[in-house]
Structure 1
Amino acid sequence: MDVLISIEEASRRLQEAATVCQVEQVALDRALGRVVAVDVQALLDVPHFDRAMLDGFAVKAADIVAATKDQPVELRVLETVGAGHVPHVHVEAGTAVRTMTGAPIVTGADAIVRIEYAEELTRDNERIVRIYRAVDEHEAIQERGHDILAGHTLLTSGTVLQPMEIAVLAAHGYHTVTVTRQPRVAIVATGSEVVPLGQALQLGQLYNSNTPMLTALVTQAGAQAISFSPASDHKEELTERFMEALKTCDILVTTGGVSVGDYDLTPSILEAIGVKRLFWGVWMRPGTPVYAGTFDGRLVLALSGNPAAAFINAIVFLVPLLRVLSGQKNEQVDVKARLKNPPQKRRVKHTRFFAGQLIFIENELWIDVSGEHSSGVMTNFIGKMALAQIGGEDELREGELVSVILL
């Protein structure tokens, strides 16, 4: 390994080497989780007509200023207008139009009286409404362009498309949207002890848990995972698997074989096939012997083989990298919490990470990091919402204010 560098320096080197993926058009019904590649302009005033915000009667507010429950004001009802229908009359003094939610406001009306404050009846074959309450002008009317005006920026580049963003696009008539192509991540687990799922275990062997975990994490981050079968600790097999994977991806992620033992071959083989090193070794626990490099415009990230360490390596380096490649806005949320039930460990230079559960105690956010914290222990992560990030200078003591990474 190299001389260890800080997490911040490792992240800087990775992100400087990253390039945003190309753009493509996708149908709106397939755009969930995708990242807007160029600013999107509003095509319409929304709403594009003055509309009623509730069921009631369109009136002139001046006609009913004296209306009370004991002394209602009576108006002649000209017609009923529902959503999607066009009014055919004009409201003048002494008249009203029964108007349903979402319907256009009839010309001449300047307010809507809620239907609960009115009573319609028929007298001499004429529709009459009794109004029991005065309202202000513009009451319950959403005016044209109240939400947004045509030509204004609707969504900015870097926006992740969630259900409401998709609804907004649809409201303007967009049926496709320009997005950044999903980053492709090739995943290769290494180690002669690692066997595929479904195969019987022999003494000394382990099931391949890292590939499914990373596949899920990559998919959750909005990228495309490409899984390869595990490779044993043999130079020829590793070389072939890495070369095959590099043909398919924007990022190659490997697990295992990245430390300094006799069978830790990943860094040397990667560099033998042309990978240029960015770093090898970071002041972090778990996951110190993490390796990164570049290859013909692609990025390579070699993570620890221990499941918990691989997960934390991926949360700290891979997930932010995927945000860069997908063109997401860099909107870091700085979350702090007080440490609860910290493990009894001596101070080290490394930044340490502990899985924890966020709780509130007397209106203050705490992170409970109870449990065993080891690079080979996965079960302590089950149901946990966050990672406590403890800097090398921070104390592992109850109540210490620490940074939190939300999972």
Structure 2
Amino acid sequence: MQVAMRNSFTGMVDYPTALQLILASADKRTDQTETLPLVQSNGRIAAEDVLATSDRPVADSSAMDGFAFVHAEMEASLSGLLAGGQEAAGDMPLPLQPGEARGILTGARIPPGADCVMAAERMQLDPKTGRVRPLHALASRGANIRRAGEEFTHGTCLVRRGQKLDWRHIALLASQNVRHVSVVKSPRITVVANGAELATDAPDARADSNTPMLAALLTSAGAMVKTHVVSSDNALHLRAELLSAWEQSDILVTTGGISVGDTDNVLDVLKELGAEVLFRGVKIRPGKPLSVLEQGGKLAFCLPGNPGASAICALVFLLPYLRSVMGDVHGPALIAGTVDFDLAPACDTTHFVPVSCQANGEGWRISLLPSVGASDIMVFTRANALLRIDPHAPVAVGQRRWVIPLHVS
């Protein structure tokens, strides 16, 4: 007679269904925003569109150090034009006088009337006459002038809501004298590892690698992360820790204690705390025990204890949810490449395989890396991408496939 296991994996969902359920829950959230100084906004998600308050450049300006003049006058004069003063960035120049070539520095406004700029090194100044003329060919009319608004005009959207800000956006906003930006508040996440083997005095003590790994991964994605270790298989100890974590966090993440053994208490404890199961188990490898519960609009992601499986579940489920609730509309850019190996997935199971994606003369080459399975940590230091292999879609040498880069930023 077959013995029924508690919390058995009956009615598992497939990968697309699990991801759909998670992202649907993210859509229900309304996360708060905060206003930060621009210099502190690097890596944060813009909470609203930011529009240009002026043209850039605000006026016609010089693209180089040199002389500004009227093209037709220079073209008609064999001896050149009389060199006048010099304009610098920040000056408000007076109109050119007839027959004048005025010195100008990069970024300075073009004097009214001027329609050409030539680099100083391409001009010859006669110290006796004070006249300047081209050394060789005369530049074309309009040369070396940056036109007002040629980069963007007033009202142009510089940053879209959901954009993850980096040094490029900060430079752009600073050019418009933006001093503060509205960003999505960083979600608070508590990661709780569970297992008596994590106690330092356990007969067969194991190091906790999952909480540091997950904290680093989630922090890189923009979350504020706290970690706790419940080094016990006692359900009451676990309950107290999870209750506290649940109350103080926007997202709860557990690792370990989610399978069907007698000491796997996470699922039962969360149910006792009022959480409802969104799904129990996913048809993926590794990471089958992954379970997600919901209470009061908050999700608890219960990850497997094996580090490799825990990492993959975080990459393909937790990070997409986190990006969605933060309003990050971009996500990671997938990389297309050609695989150099064969691999057939198990029936009805989606596989996620760490791979090496290297550039060659024809693009990117995707190679399989040796791994000992769901507990493997070393393989992730050699891999730079994750290959998804869907059921009934075996990988064959020479196929074109898309991979998920392992870097988060």
Worse overlay, 44-53 or 115-124:
115-124
Cα distance change on mapping 1:353 and 1:245 into 2, 3 Å: same
- 2:332 touches 2:404 (CA, 8 Å); kept in 1? no
Residues 341-384 of structure 1: CA deviation (Å, up to 9, x unaligned)? 456x7643211111111123441322112211411110011042
Q: Report matched runs for 1:185-204 at 5 Å.
A: 185-195=189-199, 199=200, 202-204=202-204
- Look up the equivalent residue of 2:18 and give its one-letter code: A
Cα distance change on mapping 1:55 and 1:394 into 2, 3 Å: same
Cα distance change on mapping 1:243 and 1:359 into 2, 3 Å: same
Shift in Å at residue 203 of structure 1? 4.1
Cα distance change on mapping 1:203 and 1:368 into 2, 3 Å: farther
3-state SS in 2 of match to 1:324: helix
Residue 394 of structure 2 corresponds to 395
Residue 25 of structure 2 corresponds to 17
3-state SS in 1 of match to 2:314: helix
Residue 121 of structure 2 corresponds to 116
Shift in Å at residue 93 of structure 1? 4.4
Distance 1:347 1:229 in 2: 34
Identity of aligned residues (%): 30
3-state SS in 1 of match to 2:379: helix
Residue 6 of structure 2 corresponds to none
Distance 1:2 1:51 in 2: 70
Q: Report matched runs for 1:293-332 at 5 Å.
A: 293-330=293-330
How large is the RMSD of aligned CA atoms in angstroms?
2.0
3-state SS in 1 of match to 2:245: helix
Q: Does 1:219 align with 2:219?
A: yes
Shift in Å at residue 396 of structure 1? 4.0
- Look up the equivalent residue of 1:144 and give its one-letter code: A
Cα distance change on mapping 1:276 and 1:118 into 2, 3 Å: same
Gaps in structure 1 of 5+ consecutive residues: none
Distance 1:267 1:50 in 2: 66
Residue 166 of structure 1 corresponds to 170
- 2:197 touches 2:231 (CA, 8 Å); kept in 1? no
3-state SS in 1 of match to 2:85: strand
Q: Report matched runs for 1:126-165 at 5 Å.
A: 127-131=130-134, 132-165=136-169
Distance 1:338 1:21 in 2: 40
Worse overlay, 75-84 or 303-312:
75-84
Shift in Å at residue 336 of structure 1? 3.1
Length-normalised TM-score, structure 2: 0.91
Cα distance change on mapping 1:53 and 1:20 into 2, 3 Å: farther
Q: For 1:39, which of 41, 49, 56 is the aligned residue?
A: 49
Residues 64-107 of structure 1: CA deviation (Å, up to 9, x unaligned)? 4479xxxx7511111111222332x4224432111111111111
Residue 183 of structure 1 corresponds to 187
Distance 2:242 2:401 in 1: 38
Q: For 2:36, which of 21, 26, 34 is the aligned residue?
A: 26
What is the number of equivalent residue pairs in this alignment? 395
- 2:74 touches 2:81 (CA, 8 Å); kept in 1? no
3-state SS in 2 of match to 1:212: helix
Shift in Å at residue 149 of structure 1? 1.7
Residues 212-256 of structure 1: CA deviation (Å, up to 9, x unaligned)? 000000111111112123342211011111101011111100001
Distance 2:281 2:370 in 1: 26
Worse overlay, 35-44 or 147-156:
147-156
Shift in Å at residue 394 of structure 1? 2.1
Distance 1:276 1:202 in 2: 33
Residues 282-316 of structure 1: CA deviation (Å, up to 9, x unaligned)? 11111011000111221110001000000000000
